[in-house]
Structure 1
Amino acid sequence: MGVVAGEIETRLRAALALDALEIIDDSESHRGHAGHSGSGESHFTVHATAAAFAGLSRVARQRLVYAALGDLIAPDRVHALIIKASAPGEGG
């Protein structure tokens, strides 16, 4: 796991009582595209399961994740983020 992926994990675990977390670095598939910094850590997919997501809309769940990540979501850090957020017992 790279430095940025590690920071994503640290921030999400600190902000949300996660039941499960998977972080996928999609950066290599975006080589040469806008936002690819060359560092290999610019595009991610996050699969997160937490009770905090129960009863929330998809947008509200994404807002929780973005709030937890704060300044990591910036063109020079994490350019793109796919969020798959679910509550326990929901499909991923």
Structure 2
Amino acid sequence: MSAKTVIEEKLQGLFNPERLILMDESERHAGHFHEPNAPEITHLRVRIVSSQFEGMSRIARHRAVNEALQEEIAAGLHALAIEAAAPGEATRW
């Protein structure tokens, strides 16, 4: 199973999002992250809309996603861009 699939299934299971987009941006950053044992995904953008984010601050939302992906971060996920919203909130995507 690919790393992207594992991350997607993890976020689906934890947040039950109505919208989830994972964008692997590793290729765009290949020149500056020189880790010989780098994981499949080193740079990831997560766009997620979930009712679990209702009433949460932006920082709390980011912390929740970071906590959900702590295993991947420990394994070498180098950069994580998070765009999290509750249903009905405006998004730029």
1:1-92 map, 5 Å: 3-34=2-33, 40-74=40-74, 76-92=75-91
How many Å apart are 1:35 and its aligned residue?
Answer: 5.8
Gap runs ≥5 in structure 2: none
The amino acid that maps onto 1:61 is: R
How many Å apart are 1:39 and its aligned residue?
Answer: 5.5
Q: TM-score, normalised by structure 1?
A: 0.85
Structure 1 runs (4+) deviating above 6 angstroms are: none
The amino acid that maps onto 1:44 is: L
Residues 19-58 of structure 1 show CA distances to partners (whole Å, capped at 9, x for unaligned) of 1100001011101113666665210100000001111111
Q: TM-score, normalised by structure 2?
A: 0.85
Q: Is the Cα contact below 8 Å between 2:18 and 2:50 reproduced in 1? A: yes
Q: Quick one: percent identity of the two aligned structures?
A: 37
